[in-house]
């Protein structure tokens, strides 16, 4: 038999942020191949499915992407509904193109179900729009992370420096490099930043501060997935903007959101 593969966005973590289409597919799935960032709360919605962990986390032992591709194809030759469940949105930093191509080459029918990416979940939790009239007319999503054996490119830093608001995925371990690269490109050391961990989950946590102190802010977080968000939209009032300086970091907010 040949089943149907669905690349499904699981959103930032909270089960009630799933789309209706995603929920229906999870409830009907014969097999779910899921990422490391998919929560137990979401997996509990599929007690009928065989659940296979195929996730990746930076700096940890994880399944090779080529093996995931082969597993996805072989599973679809044995089961009718195969859900490839990805954190956030499958089309953003999810290597979806490789899985799509593997299914196409094998003649496996495939559909894609979008999800809420973590940046939008974080903006909602902060009650802060990533775009604001007169302040931010451009937003960029980047990651400095590259595949093993690949050479790092400065393109991500140039994109951040050119945008009014930026969200950096998978950057916690590169906090020093990120700070230095952006300052070298002319971004002020006093640029406001927010680090958001475990977005939309009960353990969610944020720290606010300045670009100059990005590495120190990163050390205040735990082991959950982290977003780095940069831009003037993260200062609530003009007085706050005027008062921001590296010396003010100890007095800045470090609090749970929710």
Cβ 29 vs Cβ 51: under 8 Å: no
Contact 182, 198 (CB under 8 A): no
Q: Helix, strand, coil % (nearest 5) of the chain?
A: 35, 20, 40
Catalytic residue among 30, 40, 50, 56: 56
Strand 4-9, strand 110-113: pairing: parallel
The answer to whether the CB of 212 falls within 8 A of the CB of 138 is no
Beta bridge partners of 22: none
Give the strands of the sheet with 81-86, arranged side by side.
50-53, 31-34, 81-86, 4-9, 110-113
CA–CA gap between residue 51 and residue 197 (Å, rounded): 26
CA distance from start to end of the chain: 47
Q: Are 5 and 109 in contact (CB under 8 A)?
A: yes
Q: Is 56 one of the catalytic residues?
A: yes
Q: Which sequence positions are flagged as catalytic?
A: 35, 56
């Amino acid at each position: 038999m040949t089943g149907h593969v669905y690349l499904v966005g699981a959103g930032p973590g909270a089960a009630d942020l799933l789309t209706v289409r995603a929920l229906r597919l999870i409830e009907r799935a014969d097999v779910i191949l899921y990422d490391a960032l998919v929560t137990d709360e979401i997996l509990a919605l599929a007690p009928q499915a065989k659940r296979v962990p195929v996730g990746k986390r930076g700096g940890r032992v994880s399944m090779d992407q080529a093996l995931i591709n082969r597993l996805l194809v072989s599973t679809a030759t044995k089961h009718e509904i195969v859900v490839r469940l990805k954190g956030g949105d499958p089309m953003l930093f999810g290597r979806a193109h490789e899985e799509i191509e593997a299914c196409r080459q094998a003649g496996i029918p495939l559909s894609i179900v979008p999800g809420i990416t973590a940046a939008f979940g974080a903006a909602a939790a902060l009650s802060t729009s990533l775009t604001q009239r007169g302040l931010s007319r451009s937003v960029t999503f980047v990651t400095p992370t590259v595949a093993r054996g690949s050479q790092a490119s400065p393109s991500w830093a140039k994109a951040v420096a050119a945008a009014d608001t930026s969200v950096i995925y998978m950057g916690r371990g590169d906090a020093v490099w990120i700070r230095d690269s952006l300052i070298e490109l002319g971004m002020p050391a006093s640029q406001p930043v927010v680090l958001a961990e475990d977005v939309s989950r009960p353990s969610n946590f944020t720290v606010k501060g300045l670009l100059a102190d990005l590495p120190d802010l990163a050390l205040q977080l735990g082991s959950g997935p982290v977003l780095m968000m940069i831009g003037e939209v993260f200062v609530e009032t003009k007085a706050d903007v005027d008062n921001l300086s590296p010396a003010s970091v100890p007095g800045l907010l470090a609090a749970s959101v929710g």
